[in-house]
Chain A
Amino acid sequence: MASAANTNMNAVRETMDVLLEISRLLNTGLDMESLSICVRLCEQGINPEALSSVIKELRRASDTLKVSEFNSLSVSFIIMDQLGCFFL
């Protein structure tokens, strides 16, 4: 039992390594943890297209947030407001 679990673990680890390699090749910008989360999501049947669009969106959002962090507070306030309206 333990050996089976071990071999399982090894196989999993190997797979993840391969995937990380591929991801590095393709310059996806995913680190190991994000990649593992993504793998888990995909294995659970999430649509990869949707997922990729979410990730892209998140990245973009985080970038702009970073940019606006250097701006004044009022600007970020406006942006928050807009986002709020959007989600209404």
Chain B
Amino acid sequence: MATLDQKSPNVLLQSLCCRVTGKSEAEVAHLFQYAVRVIGSNYAPTIERDEFLVSEKIKKELLKQRREPDAALFSELHRKLQTQGVLKHRWSILYLLLSLCDDPRKPSSRVGNYGALFGQGLPRDSHSTPFYCTRPQSLPLSYPERSAAIQNASSMGTSGIGISDPILSFVDSVRGSRLAWALPMTTSLSGSAAPTSRLPPGPPAPVGRAPLRQRREGDSAEISEVALVRDILYVFQSIDGKFIKMSTPENCYKIDSKLPLCKSLRDMSSRLAELGWLHNKVRKYTDSRSLDRAFGLVGQSFCASLHQELKEYYRLLSVLHSQLQVEDDQGALDSALTLKRLLVWTYDPKVRLKTLAALVDFCQGRKGGELASAVHTYGKTGDPNMRALVQHILGLVSHPILNFLYRWIYDGELEDTYHEFFVASDPTVKTDRLWHDKYSLRKSMIPSFITMDQARKVLLIGKSINFLHQVCHDRTPPGKIMPPSKSADSPKDAAELFTDLEGAFQEKIDAAYFETSKYLLDVLNKNYLLLEHLQAMRRYLLLGQGDFIRHLMDLLKPELARPATTLYQHNLTGILETAVRATNAQFDCPEILKRLDVRLLEVSPGDTGWDVFSLDYHVEGPIATVFTRECMSHYLRVFNFLWRAKRMEYILTDIWKGQMCNAKLLKSMPELSGVLHQCHILASEMVHFIHQMQYYITFEVLECSWDELWNKVQQAQDLDHIIAAHEVFLDTVISRCLLDTNSRSLLNQLRAIFDQIIEFQSAQDTLYRSALEELQLRLQFEERKRQRQEEGEWGVTAEQEAEEKKRIQDFQDTIPKMRSQLRILSHFYQGIVQQFLVLLMTSLDESLQFLSFRLDFNEHYKAREPRLRVSLGATRGRRSSNI
């Protein structure tokens, strides 16, 4: 009979039903179906399969019933069972027997269940979910007593109510447990009656009820706690309850003070109502923001994260509601939900909601990067729970921003309809100003977890990519520039980023920056010959190519001496090309040579060609980003200045040549020697002056600055560096060449000196002309005299001689005039030079001060000019005091 043969479970179950109820098969059909259903749904045991535990429990049961000898007996039997080893699932059987155990004393099920309830501990939070959303079959093992409580409770139905009730209540509890929150709803179901099942042949006493219910019934006039609890549950959702309403002037939930309510209940409900207030606040924010169309992606993700948190909160509320519902259906006279219990259970959610509400307050009216900064600031707290929550939200919120960022630095694309990203693009700017004006930083939108340096780098990377695409027409896909790396695809990545913000993020940005800038510079140098153009500027516009300039000047001299209005551009261009072909400039790259051109400045009346001539260099395309229009105008100004200085040099060379040639010739006219001497002296002064100026310009100004620029350009890491270095170069050159606004007076002096030189040239020319003419006439006279003597006549007649003498006398009378003219000229010149020196002395630029030393190396001017003496001493004293 007791053979363990393999019959199918269904058959066994059916026979069990028959056996237990003592009825035939047909009558127990429904029960059998029901049994199948129960077994089928509760397939896996929810408690741990610990045999030892079960046996201990059994012993405890027996001891509770004060049956110690029986307990000892059971231990014996259990040991025997273990040694026999026939059964495979001993635990199963033992558990079954335990649960069918019938205690003649009524166990106070209520208390036991209470113990079970509080032994469970408070509902645990994981993330922000207070309870697990699982089916009871797969409930984690840490809640062992729950299902046991279910089973225990369901077994104790009340006998007198009727069949339907126990079954319904059982079903309800099953339903309830399927809703997965095995709260103490089981305790509420426990009617307290002991089972009136078949009494075993043992203690015959019928069991009755053991209503261990605690009725919380005060006077009937007072509001019951149940009603309050119901109200509170509504308040939790920010809906006004019957007794507790939102009072808008004070912005809090208030209980009507007229209601009969004991003080403790009132206090507790006020404390609970705070939760409703917090919920209201958060809810209002999310609702209002969802209507706002211009809120942007960041704001939307913020609202979504708030919604998530609220969802968890709602879950808790629905659990509590269903609990209340079940109690209502049951008609249970007492409730498991008391205010105190609510207080305890809602503590954690309250803390979370408080954080959320504070966050909402802080973030009012912000959007985009500002919002992310606000959330980030809020995460700087010591409380680990709050920090975890805020970090979670921050991860979600910053995900759109990081998306923007990665798209920007890897693709150069900016799709920011709501202006949330910190890089702003100005659509009105055209491609020629793309680098300088089109993209800028929106400082308010920089999140606080991104430093200014990183933000600038990000701007630069995207700018470079766009520059490459649009201006350089370089269509390399960004994948080739930057090896494709993982971008922030999910919020999880974004959250991970924050744990290592310094390292990984910075690395990514740096890598992108280096690669992109390097690529850009390569493209500019190889395809667009940026460095070559820079050098060409130096050679042509800054008069670096000496032989070419000299030759050009030679060729242009006759042309430019004419008045400006008679000049034609094509003539001059032709001359330019001749000059190029004749000198070393012809070996230059044709790309450069074709950009070289002549430009005629605006003509003012009275200008000669010298005043309007200028060279020009055409730039276009990406090069124009470095050589902007302002830069080119600076270059032209400097060219003008240098050209003039060169011209002075040229003039003085001519003067000197003339002097050398004519000195010998005019030796025969001793009366001119004084004048000529004066001329020579003046000329050499001027020569010295111009020499020093040229030295200063060429070496101190141009070469030094150029060297600095070249070094910086070679070491430049991105285009911004090059542009900055170039601008610094031009600024230095301009200020040192006295072309900026500070040195206006100096420049004027210099111009005056140049004018004097020109005047001197013309004066000397006239002098030489008249002197040479005179010489010519005298020679002719001598020639004629000799000729006539050869012919046998008188060499010279009296009137001829008288004529000659008169003419010579006339000539000699003009000499003093010439001399005085020259004296005036030289005096004037020296005055100007002295003024110039004074100005140089007092200038702030060190190199100019050195120039003044060089100009006056033998203190020639200092002797003449008392002011110089004073100022020299003064500055010397001042400088020494500065040291």
Q: Would you call B38 an interface residue if the criterion is a C-beta within 8 Å of the partner chain's C-beta atoms?
A: yes
Partner of B22, one of A13, A26, A62: A62
- B87 with A61: CB separation less than 8 A: no
Q: Within the complex, which residue of A16, A22, A48, A63 is in contact with B99, where a contact is CB–CB below 8 Å? A: A48
* B261 CB within 8 Å of chain A: no
Query: Judging by beta carbons under 8 Å apart, are B101 and A28 in contact?
Result: yes
Q: Is B764 part of the binding interface, using a Cβ–Cβ cutoff of 8 Å? A: no
Chain A residues closer than 8 Å to B262, beta-carbon distance:
none
A15 to B93, CA, bound (A): 12
Contact partner of B86 (CB less than 8 A), chosen from A11, A38, A47, A53, is A11
Kindly specify which of B11-19, B244-252, B628-636 makes contact with the partner chain: B11-19
Check if A62 sits within 8 Å of B23, measured CB to CB: yes
Contact status A86-B171, CB under 8 Å:
yes
CA distance A60 to B164 in the complex (A): 12
A13-72 CB contacts (< 8 Å) to partner B: 13-16, 18-19, 21-23, 25-34, 36-65, 68
Cα–Cα distance between A63 and B194 once the two chains are bound (Å): 13
Contact with A along B140-177 (1 / 0, CB 8 A): 00000001100100110101001110111011000000
- From 274 to 325 in chain B, residues with beta carbon under 8 angstroms from any chain A beta carbon are none
Stretch at the interface among B41-49, B231-239, B403-411, B428-436: B41-49
CB distance from B66 to the nearest CB of A (A): 14
Residue among A9, A18, A22 with the highest chain B CB neighbour number at 10 A? A22
- B384 CB-CB contact with A under 8 Å: no
A40 partner residues in chain B, CB cutoff 8 A: 4-5, 7, 12
**A26-B61, A28-B102, A40-B4 are known contacts. Are A50 and B39 too (CB-CB below 8 A)?**
yes
In the complex, whether A77 has a CB less than 8 A from a CB of chain B is no
Query: Could you tell me the distance in whole angstroms from the C-beta of A52 to the nearest C-beta in chain B?
Result: 4
Q: Is the interface of A mostly helix, strand, loop or mixed?
A: helix
Interface stretch (choices B26-34, B335-343, B361-369): B26-34
DSSP class of B's interface residues: helix, strand, loop or mixed?
A: helix
Tell me which residues from 461 to 479 in chain B have a Cβ below 8 Å from any Cβ of chain A.
none
A50 to B136, CA, bound (A): 12
Query: In whole angstroms, how far apart are the Cα atoms of A37 and B70 in the complex?
Result: 25
Question: Is A52 a contact of B99 with CB atoms below 8 Å?
Answer: yes
Least distance between B186 CB and chain A CB atoms (Å): 13
| A21 and B95 alpha carbons, distance in the complex (Å) | 15
Chain B min CB distance to A33 (Å): 6
| Mask: chain B, 80-118; 1 = CB below 8 Å from A; 0 = not | 110010111100111111111111100000000000000
A31 vs chain B, min Cβ distance (A): 8
B103 and A47: CB pair below 8 A? Answer: no
- A26 nearest CB across to chain B (Å): 4
Contact A61 B100 (CB under 8 A): no
Query: CB-nearest residue of chain A relative to B86?
Result: A15
Chain B residues lying within 8 Å of A59, measured Cβ to Cβ, are: 20-21, 195, 197-198
Set of chain B residues within 8 Å of A68, measured between Cβ atoms: 163
Tell whether A26 pairs with B58 under 8 Å between CB atoms, given A46-B9, A49-B45, A55-B20. yes
CB distance from B697 to the nearest CB of A (A): 102
A58 x B200 contact (CB < 8 A): no
For the complex formed, measure the closest distance between the CB of A8 and the CB atoms of chain B, giving whole angstroms. Answer: 8
Which residue from B22, B96, B103, B171 sits with its C-beta under 8 Å from A52? B96
Q: List chain A residues, Cβ under 8 A from B147.
A: 49
Contact A13 B163 (CB under 8 A): no
Partner pick for A42 among B7, B96, B103, CB 8 A cutoff: B96
B168-223 residues at the A interface, CB under 8 angstroms: 168, 170-171, 195-200, 202
Which stretch from B71-79, B386-394, B661-669 is at the chain A interface? Answer: B71-79
Question: Chain A residues near B2 (CB, 8 Å)?
Answer: 12-13, 16, 32, 36
Interface size on A, residues (CB 8 A): 59
Q: Is A83 an interface residue (CB 8 A)?
A: yes
B758 beta carbon closer than 8 Å to chain A:
no
Alpha-carbon gap, A56 to B150, bound state (A): 13
In the assembled complex, the Cα of A87 lies from the Cα of B74 at a distance in Å of 41
State in angstroms the CA–CA spacing of A49 and B39 once bound together: 9
Contact across chains for A46 and B39 when beta carbons are under 8 A apart: yes
A25: chain B residues within 8 A (beta carbon):
62, 70, 73-74, 77
How far, in whole Å, are A48 and B35 apart by their CA atoms in the complex?
13
Q: B70 — which chain A residues lie within 8 A by C-beta?
A: 25
Given A18-B77, A56-B100, the answer on whether A41 and B163 have CB atoms closer than 8 Å is no
**Which residues from chain B contact A56 at a C-beta distance below 8 Å?**
100, 154-155, 195, 197
Q: Quick one: which of A45, A47, A50, A63 contacts B197, CB cutoff 8 A? A: A63
Of chain B, the residue at the smallest CB distance from A44 is B9
Kindly list chain B residues whose C-beta atoms are within 8 Å of the C-beta of A33.
Answer: 1, 19
Residues of B within 8 A of A32 (CB): 1-2
Q: Is B3 an interface residue (CB 8 A)?
A: yes
Q: How far is the CB of B172 from chain A (nearest CB, A)?
A: 12
The answer to whether B45 and A43 have CB atoms under 8 Å apart is no
Q: Which residues of A contact B38 (CB under 8 A)?
A: 50, 53-54, 57
- Taking a contact as CB atoms under 8 Å apart, the answer to whether B34 and A87 are in contact is yes
In this complex, which of B1, B12, B20, B157 has the most chain A Cβ atoms within 10 angstroms of its Cβ?
Answer: B20
B102 touches A42 (CB 8 A): no
Query: Could you tell me the distance between the alpha carbons of A65 and B148 in the complex, rounded to whole angstroms?
Result: 27
Which residues of chain A have C-beta atoms less than 8 A from B73's C-beta?
A: 21, 25
B21 touches A48 (CB 8 A): no
Establish whether residues A12 and B4, one from each chain, have CB atoms under 8 Å apart when the complex forms.
Answer: yes
Given A37-B19, A56-B195, A59-B20, the answer on whether A86 and B102 have CB atoms closer than 8 Å is: no
Closest to B3 in A: A12
Closest chain A residue to B148, Cβ basis: A49
- Contact for A47 among B22, B23, B43, B168, CB less than 8 A: B43
**Contact of A58 with B39 at beta-carbon distance under 8 Å, contacts A15-B84, A40-B4, A42-B92 already known:** no
How far does the alpha carbon of A59 sit from the alpha carbon of B4 in the complex, in Å?
A: 24
A11 to B84, Cβ gap below 8 A?
Answer: yes
The residue that A86 contacts in the complex, of B41, B84, B164, B202, with Cβ under 8 A, is: B164
Return chain A residues, CB-CB under 8 Å to B39: 46-47, 50-51, 54
Evaluate contact between B95 and A49: CB separation under 8 angstroms.
yes
Taken together as a complex, chains A and B put the C-alpha atoms of A38 and B4 apart, in Å, by 11
Docked-complex contact A43 and B87, CB < 8 angstroms: yes
Alpha-carbon separation in the docked complex, A50 to B132 (Å):
22
User: Which residues of B sit under 8 angstroms from A64, Cβ to Cβ?
Assistant: 159, 163
> Shortest beta-carbon distance, B122 to chain A, in Å?
25
In the complex, what distance in Å separates the CA atom of A9 from the CA atom of B5?
Answer: 12
Q: How far is the CA of A42 from the CA of B33 in the complex (A)?
A: 19
Tell me which residues across on chain B come within 8 A of A34, comparing CB atoms: 16, 19-20
Contacts of B45 in A (CB 8 A): 47-49
Known: A47-B44, A63-B197, A82-B164. A57 touches B100 (CB 8 A): no
Asked if A26 contacts B155 (CB within 8 A), the reply is no
Q: Which residues of A contact B74 (CB under 8 A)?
A: 22, 25
Choose from B15, B41, B162 the contact partner of A37 (Cβ within 8 Å).
B15
How distant is the Cα of A40 from the Cα of B44 in the complex, in angstroms?
17
Task: Tell whether, in the assembled complex, residue B198 and residue A62 are in contact, meaning their CB atoms are under 8 Å apart.
Answer: yes
Residues of A within 8 A of B35 (CB): 54, 57-58
Contacts of B9 in A (CB 8 A): 41, 44, 46
CA distance A15 to B20 in the complex (A): 22
Q: Would A48 and B77 be within 8 Å (CB), given that A26-B100, A86-B171, A87-B33 are in contact?
A: no
Q: Which residues of B does A touch, CB under 8 Å? A: 1-7, 9, 12-13, 15-17, 19-23, 28, 30-31, 33-35, 38-39, 41-47, 58, 61-62, 70, 73-74, 77-78, 80-81, 84, 86-89, 92-104, 147-148, 151, 154-155, 157, 159, 162-164, 166-168, 170-171, 195-200, 202
19 A-B pairs (CB sep. < 8 Å):
A12-B86, A23-B97, A25-B73, A29-B199, A29-B200, A33-B1, A33-B19, A42-B93, A43-B4, A47-B39, A49-B45, A49-B148, A50-B43, A52-B99, A58-B28, A59-B197, A60-B197, A79-B162, A83-B167
Beyond A14-B84, A83-B163, 18 additional pairs, beta carbon < 8 A: A9-B3, A12-B3, A15-B86, A18-B80, A18-B84, A22-B77, A22-B81, A27-B202, A36-B1, A44-B9, A49-B46, A49-B95, A49-B99, A53-B154, A56-B155, A57-B155, A63-B159, A86-B171
Residues of A within 8 A of B (CB): 9, 11-16, 18-19, 21-23, 25-34, 36-65, 68, 79, 82-84, 86-87
